């Protein structure tokens, strides 16, 4: 296939950036979207042009690094996949494809399609962990957990922290991400010790990072590559209000 790509180019965090057009040829329908960009970068390198900078790591839909808005949708036109899982058979000969980075104040662009998502790391550092002495490795069945609870915790833990929810939200809210991380620990007995302080600290850090508020439009769930449910946001709100009722920081 021969395609026209309109890609956001930005030299650094201070540069204003702009969309630039590129023609890419010899694209196989079986290539992943990132492999197609690899082909384009090889062509640009041979011409002495600075290649397109983009994040990637596992290329298996696990790490969440491949953050791109493709034709207006985070991770592209398919549901429940990351950019690296998107294949070029989803497009056709002669298509014009627009590629941009995540757009959010809390995700500043570093270069081209690469954004700084360390704000997510700081939210996790604020409270997204279990800080207890667990001793040796316990048997798998040492703490009985109802299947329904275990399933809900695992569904929340499926969040890979890619940031598609933020990019999809008109308010650039991180509520789906934070709620998933709070839920996976709040549901399990291992997370009960710090249950109240965890949600207070993570929500406070989320606000400090400059993410917007949730207005329940559902765009985050619709674009999430792992299908994280909005019910986690409801649980986050319950956890937060419950913590505030007994908090020393009221």
Average pLDDT over residues 74-89: 97
Q: What was the pLDDT predicted at 249?
A: 57
User: Per-domain residue ranges for the chain?
Assistant: 3-110, 118-245
Question: What architecture is the 118-245 domain classified under in CATH?
Answer: Orthogonal Bundle (1.10)
| Superfamily (CATH H level) for 3-110 | Beta-grasp domain (3.10.20.30)
| Fold match flag (3-110 vs 118-245) | no
Segment 122-135 mean pLDDT: 84
Half-sphere exposure of 168 (CA within 13 A, CB side): 24
**pLDDT tens track for 129-174:** 887 666 676 776 778 899 999 999 999 999 999 999 999 999 999 9
pLDDT for 178-221, tens place per residue? 999 999 999 999 899 899 999 999 999 999 999 999 999 999 99
- Please write the tens of the pLDDT for every residue from 19-31: 999 999 989 999 9
Specify the pTM.
Answer: 0.93
Q: Name the 3-class secondary structure at 66.
A: coil
Backbone angles phi, psi at 230, to 5 degrees: -65, -20
Average pLDDT for the chain: 94
Q: Is the pLDDT of residue 248 over 90?
A: no
Query: Taking the mean position of all CA atoms in its chain, how far away is CA 143?
Result: 31
């Amino acid at each position: 296939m021969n395609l026209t790509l309109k890609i956001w180019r930005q030299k650094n965090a201070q540069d204003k950036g702009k969309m630039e057009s590129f023609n890419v040829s010899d694209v196989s329908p079986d290539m992943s979207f990132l492999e197609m960009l690899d082909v384009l970068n090889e062509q640009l390198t041979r011409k002495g042009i600075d290649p397109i900078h983009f994040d990637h790591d596992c290329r298996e839909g696990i790490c969440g690094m491949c953050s791109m808005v493709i034709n207006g949708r985070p991770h592209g036109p398919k549901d429940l996949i990351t950019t690296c899982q998107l294949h070029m058979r989803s497009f056709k000969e002669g298509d014009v494809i627009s590629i941009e980075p995540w757009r959010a104040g809390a995700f500043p662009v570093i270069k081209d399609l690469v954004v700084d998502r360390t704000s997510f790391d700081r939210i996790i550092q604020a409270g997204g962990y279990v800080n207890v002495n667990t001793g040796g490795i316990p048997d798998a069945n040492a703490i009985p957990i109802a299947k329904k609870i275990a399933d809900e915790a695992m569904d929340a833990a499926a969040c890979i922290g890619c940031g598609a929810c933020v990019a999809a939200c008109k308010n650039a809210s991180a509520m789906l991400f934070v709620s998933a991380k709070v839920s996976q620990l709040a549901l399990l007995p291992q997370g009960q010790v710090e249950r109240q302080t965890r949600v207070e600290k993570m929500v406070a850090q989320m606000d400090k990072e400059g993410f917007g508020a949730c207005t329940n439009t559902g765009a985050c769930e619709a674009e999430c590559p792992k299908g994280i449910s909005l019910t986690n946001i409801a649980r986050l709100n319950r956890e937060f209000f419950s913590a505030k009722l007994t908090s020393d920081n009221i």
